[in-house]
Amino acid sequence: MTRNSAPPPLRPGPLHEDPVTLPASLAGRSIVLVGLMGAGKTSIGRRLAARLGLPFHDADIEIELAAGCSISELFARFGEAEFRAGERRVIRRLLAGEPMVLATGGGAFMDPETRATIRREAVSLWLRAQLPTLVRRVAQRTHRPLLAGGDPASILQGLMDKRHPVYAESDIVVDCTDESPEHTTSRVVEALVNWHAPRRLSLALSTGNYDVVVGEGLLERAGGLLAPVLPQKRCIIITDSIVAPLHLHKLRHGLAEAGFDCHSIIVPPGERAKSLEQYGLVVDQMLEARVERRTAVIALGGGVVGDLAGFAAATVMRGLPFVQIPTTLLAQVDSSVGGKTGINTQHGKNLLGAFHQPRMVLADTATLATLPPRELRAGYAEIAKAGLIGDAAFFNWCEAHAHAVVGGDRHVQAEAVLRACAFKAQVVGDDEREEKPNNGRALLNLGHTFGHAIEAECGYGQVLHGEAVATGIGLAFQLATKLGEVSQADTDRVIAHFNSVGLPGEMALLNRKLSASRLMHHMSRDKKMRDGAIHLILPRGIGQCHTTSSTPPDLVRRTLLDAGCLE
């Protein structure tokens, strides 16, 4: 068969099995095989197409048919740049049609435009083979233009060094060995059937857009996911001493596969890391690592790490690219989305900060399996908060699924993260910098004025943020009931819901005797103060909230006292 002739039909045999049913995430999408020459893209592709009941196309053959000459002749006559331009057009045309299995040439995926087309129109699958396997398969194939006049092993090693970091941007990776093509095809099918596409939310902001990606195994794929959105394959990872032994190795490996050069900075765990002292130490280490304006800062950890790393990214060299990889439920549904960064001072929480939006948020739900139950419960408070602010139907969903979320059901957790992030994305998109005082982003602070005061009085870290927020939401509902804006039944319902999942929906469950006067003092120093008045977000019912600065301080105090506070 000549290179510019169509492939023969598949022969009857064991390949002709019943077509495979692919998951919904692959329905109606083409499968594009990428990899180096000799990886088996054509032989595997034909078998895979037969198994999936899809047509098969080989991009190189399509190019030759269109040009009327071989790939070698195209290279000789016009050079690689012109060949890549034609290849780009052919792949774009093929993927615009019906779903298929498409085998591409080894260099096709290296072209940014082709890569973007494949990412948009199909699912990419990298057939990754080791050097000895490739050498054995291609050494006798003299028609390969890139192998002409050189040692195949040396040339292939050079291509691997250059191309493998880019191939790592593929959606799926399957390692190929010297096993039979039929066996490799079965493993490819298995990988496709078991593939769970990460789900994406897009935030559209005046300062630019970015995606929140939710799914399992994102740490291992971080390099491939981040490469398209970062200006440089160099990064500073900031994490803490608890998260580092759990997740840092996976992240570094995932970044290294895509060719990233990484430097890690490890800070102490908990709120003490959000101090001026720790901020100074982190900045010094970043500068010692010789960061550049295009070097990305990656926050790996909970909300504390995200706030600290984001503030460092916002301020070093007047702003570095920033990525959030939250590892707690609380951070995945709240602090990682929206661009708020900050550190604490002796006068209060988050009083030094900046708005600095990330280039991407990677919420790997697999990291939630390492959280203790208390941390999961604390994260859940922010999920329920989303429904209470503006989506009564979502709060109904929370009441039905809360125990699955805090109990570790991975599927339900992912759904909760996605729903909560979608709500916050909508709010942030409408009011990125919290400039709408009555109906904008400020509503996301439901329970926070009370909650921050509780954290400050108890000592940061003694009461988890989500626990304080749950108590604060309960107090906000109790205050709104005193104002006649919320029924007692709704207040009882919200408090009972938090209590049912192990959160302190009421002050008594904090098991601490707190002073109403001290809490009022902390509230008076909250950054949401306006014209000297305490600024509160209060409910008007489940799914309805508003902002106010006119609540009488005596009524706020009475609410605290009635909830069990001391004078």
Output the DSSP codes for 325-344.
EE-SHHIIIIITSS-EEEEE
Render pLDDT for 461-472 as a digit per residue (tens, 0 to 9): 899 999 999 999
| Maximum mean pLDDT: which of 10-14, 365-369, 452-456 | 365-369
**Whole-number pLDDT of residue 81:** 87
Place of tokens 């050498």: 135
**Whole-number pLDDT of residue 5:** 45
**Whole-number pLDDT of residue 74:** 87
Q: Please tell me which residue, 81 or 99, carries the higher pLDDT value.
A: 99
Average pLDDT over residues 121-127: 97
Same fold, 24-194 and 432-562: no
The whole-angstrom separation of Cα 249 and Cα 254 is: 9
| 530 band by pLDDT with thresholds 50, 70 and 90 | low
- Total length of the chain: 567
Render pLDDT for 60-69 as a digit per residue (tens, 0 to 9): 999 999 888 9
Ranges of each domain in the chain: 24-194, 199-371, 432-562
* Secondary structure of 50-93 in HEC code, one letter for each residue: HHHCCCEEEHHHHHHHHHCCCHHHHHHHHHHHHHHHHHHHHHHH
| 6 band by pLDDT with thresholds 50, 70 and 90 | very low
| 256 band by pLDDT with thresholds 50, 70 and 90 | very high
**Whole-number pLDDT of residue 534:** 85
| 54 band by pLDDT with thresholds 50, 70 and 90 | very high
User: What is the percent of the chain with per-residue pLDDT over 70, rounded to a whole number?
Assistant: 93
What is the strand order of the sheet 56-58 is part of? 56-58, 101-103, 30-34, 122-129, 172-176
Per residue in 445-481, is it b (16+ CB within 10 Å) or e — as a string?
Answer: bbbbbbbbbbbbbeebeebbbbbbbbbbbbbbbbbbb
C-alpha dihedral over 481, 484, 490, 494, to 10 degrees?
-30
pLDDT above 80: residue 12 = no
pLDDT above 60: residue 14 = no
Q: State how beta strands 122-129 and 172-176 pair.
A: parallel
pLDDT above 50: residue 2 = no
Specify the CATH number for 199-371; select among 3.10.290.20, 3.40.50.1970, 1.10.10.10, 2.40.240.10.
3.40.50.1970
Render pLDDT for 405-429 as a digit per residue (tens, 0 to 9): 999 999 999 999 999 999 999 999 8
pLDDT above 70: residue 489 = yes
**Whole-number pLDDT of residue 4:** 43
Average pLDDT over residues 118-129: 97
**What topology does CATH give the domain 432-562?**
Dehydroquinate synthase-like, alpha domain (1.20.1090)
| 514 band by pLDDT with thresholds 50, 70 and 90 | very high
Average pLDDT over residues 193-220: 92
Enter the tokens of residue 20. 């495979």
Average pLDDT over residues 101-112: 96
C-alpha dihedral over 283, 287, 291, 296, to 10 degrees?
-10
| 529 band by pLDDT with thresholds 50, 70 and 90 | low
The whole-angstrom separation of Cα 63 and Cα 25 is: 29
Place of tokens 């790490």: 305
Render pLDDT for 140-199 as a digit per residue (tens, 0 to 9): 555 666 666 678 889 999 999 999 999 999 999 999 998 999 999 999 999 999 998 999
The whole-angstrom separation of Cα 197 and Cα 383 is: 23
pLDDT above 90: residue 533 = no
Place of tokens 């995606």: 211
Global confidence as pTM:
0.89
The whole-angstrom separation of Cα 331 and Cα 302 is: 5
| 498 band by pLDDT with thresholds 50, 70 and 90 | very high
Mean pLDDT value across the chain? 92
Report H helices in 373-526. Answer: 373-390, 392-407, 410-430, 448-458, 465-482, 488-500, 516-524
| 18 band by pLDDT with thresholds 50, 70 and 90 | low
Q: One-letter amino acid identity for 65?
A: L
**What topology does CATH give the domain 24-194?**
Rossmann fold (3.40.50)
CA distances from 525 to 23, 98, 381, 531, 532 (A): 53, 61, 24, 12, 9
pLDDT above 70: residue 16 = no
